A and B are shown apart, each in its own frame.
Chain A
Amino acid sequence: NAGVMQNPRHLVRRRGQEARLRCSPMKGHSHVYWYRQLPEEGLKFMVYLQKENIIDESGMPKERFSAEFPKEGPSILRIQQVVRGDSAAYFCASSRDRVDNEQFFGPGTRLTVL
């Protein structure tokens, strides 16, 4: 009964490159959430997705960031042209539905931008 899977666990990119972070939700979960934990800051919501739909992207930076959750396969958080300020831990969570929402978190992807 696997939990939320994230890969890679650690990702190093140079400024200007693209970063792709993957998240496989728990079995039976169709809701996915991405959060970012910046150094010296708390966890901040980025985006909430259901299969093939973005429900709430109010926490996503307006440029360079995008997210998808296709019908088949994992959810992807994509960061284009990374900058040093993107260095952070990115956590994915999943839930079964929106009623009595309980979110289970993955181990995170730690992105370092050189």
Chain B
Amino acid sequence: AQSVTQPDIHITVSEGASLELRCNYSYGATPYLFWYVQSPGQGLQLLLKYFSGDTLVQGIKGFEAEFKRSQSSFNLRKPSVHWSDAAEYFCAVLANAGGTSYGKLTFGQGTILTVHP
């Protein structure tokens, strides 16, 4: 069964600083990978996804993530954080076989991002 680990429960950065949120997954084949963001009391918004191809993917709001098969990682990065980026971030994996998904997203525990002015 697939699993996702987000080692950092809480990260604090200053506005304007760079950001990297870690995500490690466990899955036998090449997974479909996602990063979602959740603001307090809200639903989840998709930031970016990786299905295949270029291992560096660009998302919304200036975020990017890099798929590294050798490290089973899919870390999320942003060069300069804005105060509005404060939220909880979830990495997720979707098992698939030959391009057809099994439908079930498995989420990490989430990383809460606090941004200091």
B43 interface residue (CB < 8 Å to A): yes
Asked if A59 contacts B90 (CB within 8 A), the reply is no
User: Complex formed: what's the CA distance from A95 to B106 in Å?
Assistant: 16
B8 to chain A, nearest CB (A): 14
SS class of chain A's interface: helix, strand, loop or mixed? strand
Asked if A103 contacts B105 (CB within 8 A), the reply is yes
Asked if B49 contacts A102 (CB within 8 A), the reply is yes
**Residues in A neighbouring B107, C-beta threshold 8 A:** 35, 42-44
Asked if A56 contacts B44 (CB within 8 A), the reply is no
User: Complex formed: what's the CA distance from A103 to B105 in Å?
Assistant: 9
**Contact-residue size bin, chain B (C-beta under 8 Å from the other chain):** 20 to 34
A101 interface residue (CB < 8 Å to B): yes
A82 to chain B, nearest CB (A): 21
Residue from A41, A48, A102 in contact with B104 in the complex, judged by beta carbons closer than 8 Å: A48
SS class of chain B's interface: helix, strand, loop or mixed? strand
Q: Which residues of A come within 8 Å of B, CB atoms?
A: 4, 31, 33, 35, 41-45, 48, 55-56, 58-59, 91, 93, 95, 98-108, 110
Asked if B90 contacts A43 (CB within 8 A), the reply is yes
Given contacts A35-B105, A42-B107, A45-B106, contact A99 B46 (CB under 8 A): no
B41 to chain A, nearest CB (A): 8
Kindly report which residue of chain A lies nearest to residue B92, judged by CB atoms: A43
Asked if A45 contacts B105 (CB within 8 A), the reply is yes
A5 to chain B, nearest CB (A): 11
